A and B are shown apart, each in its own frame.
Chain A
Amino acid sequence: MVEKFLKIALVGNPNSGKSSLFNHFTGLNQKIGNFPGVTVDKKTGSAIISAHVKADIIDLPGTYSLYPKSLDEQVVLDFLNNTIDPSHPDLIIITIDASNLKRNLLLFTQVVDLGFPVILALNMLDVAVKSGIKINVEQLSKELKVPVVPINARNGAGITNLKEIIVQGYAEAQQPFLKATDLAPQVVKELKEKLKLTNDYLALLLAHQYRKNIQSLSVVQKAAIAEINKQYNFQSVVLQIQETTARYEIIETIIKKCVTNLHATTTEKISYKIDRVLTHPIWGYGIFFGVLFVIFQSIFAWAAIPMDWIDGGIALLNATLKDILPISKLTDLLTDGLIAGLGGVLIFIPQIAILFLFIAILEESGYMSRVMFIMDKFMRKFGMNGRSVVPLISGVACAVPAIMATRSIDNWKNRIITIFVTPLMSCSARIPVFTILIALVVPEQKVLGVLNLQGLTLMGLYFLGFAAAVVTGAAMNLILKNKQKSYFIMELPSYKMPRWKNVGLAIVEKVKTFVFEAGKVIVAISIVLWVLASYGPSDSMTQATYSAAEYAEVHGLTATETGNLEASRKLEASYAGHFGKMIEPAIRPLGFDWKIGIALITSFAAREVFIGTMSTIYSVGSDEPNTIREKMKNEIDVTTGKPMYSLALAFSLLIFYVFAMQCMSTVAVVYRETQGWKWPLIQFAYMTLLAYAGSYFTYELLK
């Protein structure tokens, strides 16, 4: 029988083992939601603490203090302040990296001063011992006046003990380490009265941060704080420095009583030897590019197999359903609309999972921050910073999780530029389009004996996307004004063996994000497009069926051929066909006809839909790339009498797909991340223009 239900929040520095602890508590029982008003992931999960106690656990973003510097960190104070929130915690567990006690205790003293009951989970004692730091845990607990539980978040040791302490009950709120009234007596006093607060330190924090996005404050309250601050000449920066310095002094005295440093003169760490190789002007970049090469190779090589399964599975499901269900529009909607749309989402899961497997390993091991470290100087020339590396790499799989990964970039300008250029990185949905067009016009021959010409072309297209991304970044760097200072004050964590549970959960999380964020848009648009492609002005639709039947009879086509022809004629007569013809004058300069026009329109669900549309238009009746390729190869341009898919047209189309933002999911996620329509619209216009211009010049040049 569960008798008691607790709400526990996990707070701690980044790299203090907080997420590992969360994963130990909750396993797969995790949910990701959003904090109100911001797009920061809110990870919650449920845990069984004892036979009688269950708990909801919330994992707050890692932060170094309660004075936030990035979007992620901002949530912590807002959450702790919001007493109305149903997940407002009864208890806070603070994870502390024992090998870095001093800096970790800063946040601890701040949270205690907010008046929450706190348990300290002392992690990484083994690392501390190795580097000669001996901590007297009992003494520490006495000095800090909270339970201190040694844990090992990597292997789960000490967690049973931690659960026991939670059940036994924990120290209630205690005396603050620092009196907020010593720092700004009048402001704290007035604010407490005005906002009916019970905690001094909360009043002080709100005085500092009311201008930030604090949901729990009303407009009237914010105005009141501004007034009081002005009245007493509240010097925010000076007071924050005073407070932090004072806290460190208190921490220093506590540490002196509980910690003995065994070797006073620290010998140089072995990890520096690794670091000097990984950040070396030649080896550093060489290793990084080697790692990238391995990642991309794996995405292509490993993902192909499960992708074939998914593709085959969906096709089989659709074929079976079409056999079983009565022939009707509803069946078509289910199979060609809904299930085909779902298939278009599922097909990308293997590539996304593999990419995030690597990214999670690189992040867990500590290598990723070294990459940021050596790339920062380079990225700054293009209006981004070292932290932009992860979004840009992720963009090769899918722009949606990549753009969400920009949240860790604390500078507004760097973040906007990273969001803006990420969709130019060639994502996995472009690959099918690239490969079919390359196979159509580029001969399969070796260059210099070893390099495959088709492979080289594909690489060239990837490079083109990347080049467009950095050039765009450099241009935006000149145009955009910097609203705030950009920092690169970042912890370089020590190297660790990746924890496979964390890696696995990270992959699950990213795949979920893709399926739910990108997936719902793709499925919705697939259905709309199905309607556009299946319906048309009624007379032209009947006309299409009639003319197909007539043609079939005259030329003696088989039943399958007649069916395919009818589908093709119907698509031409449908609304989608009309749209294609409507935009034909606009895309003619690029060498495209109305058939490609239809494919461009349907590509807005997801770019790879191009192939399916092409197969219907050319009445192939199958998605088999070789058959489509043959059909496209034999297509004759009616105006010139030459093959339609010339080198010029194919490259014009390739360039178009490199640059164009044909992805509604990306538009939607940019809208959400930038909280408005301004950036997605500018981005869409810019990329379309780039695609059009690029296509036009390519066509003119090669024609």
Chain B
Amino acid sequence: MDTAPIQIQKNLAQLAIGQKATICCLQDEEMSLKLIEMGCLPGSEVQVAYKAPWNGPICIEVCGYNLSLRMDEAATILLKN
């Protein structure tokens, strides 16, 4: 039975360097517009390229280019399991 609450779903901030995943949906409505414009569309594949020290921003590869996001911004991007 699929009763898992949304919170358990993995988000982009939890991926390790080099890991790939597919975007499922975006949680923050206001931020999602900016993210979609930048190519983070549901269904797109993302990969974590590298991370800034001390929990700083992360760099992901999406849509064929590199994008930086803060951890709290990445946490609003939910991934398909």
Contact = CB atoms under 8 A, between A and B. Distances in A.
A241 B33 CA distance: 6
Interface string B21-37: 00000000111111111
A2 to B, nearest CB: 40
A244 B57 CA distance: 25
Contacts of A543: none
Contacts of A276: 50
A64 B73 contact: no
Contact of B34 (A269, A487, A492): A487
B30 A373 contact: no
B66 interface: yes
Interface string A488-522: 11111110000000000000000000000000000
Contacts of A378: 56
Given A487-B34, A489-B34, A100 B65 contact: yes
B77 to A, nearest CB: 11
Main SS of chain B's interface residues? mixed
A103 interface: yes
Contacts of B32: 241
Interface in B43-81: 49-57, 59, 61, 63-70, 73
B70 A488 contact: yes
B65 A103 contact: yes
B16 interface: no
A103 B39 contact: yes
B57 A386 contact: yes
Interface of B: 18, 29-39, 41, 49-57, 59, 61, 63-70, 73
B50 A376 contact: no
A131 B61 CA distance: 14
A443 to B, nearest CB: 41
Given A485-B31, A491-B65, A377 B56 contact: yes
A494 B66 contact: yes
Given A275-B50, A275-B59, 16 more contacts: A65-B37, A67-B37, A99-B64, A237-B30, A237-B33, A240-B33, A241-B33, A241-B36, A244-B36, A281-B54, A373-B68, A376-B57, A377-B56, A488-B70, A489-B35, A490-B68
Contact of A376 (B29, B39, B49, B56): B56
Contacts of A64: 37-38
Contact of A244 (B30, B33, B49, B56): B33
A103 B64 CA distance: 9
A131 B66 CA distance: 14
Nearest to A103: B39
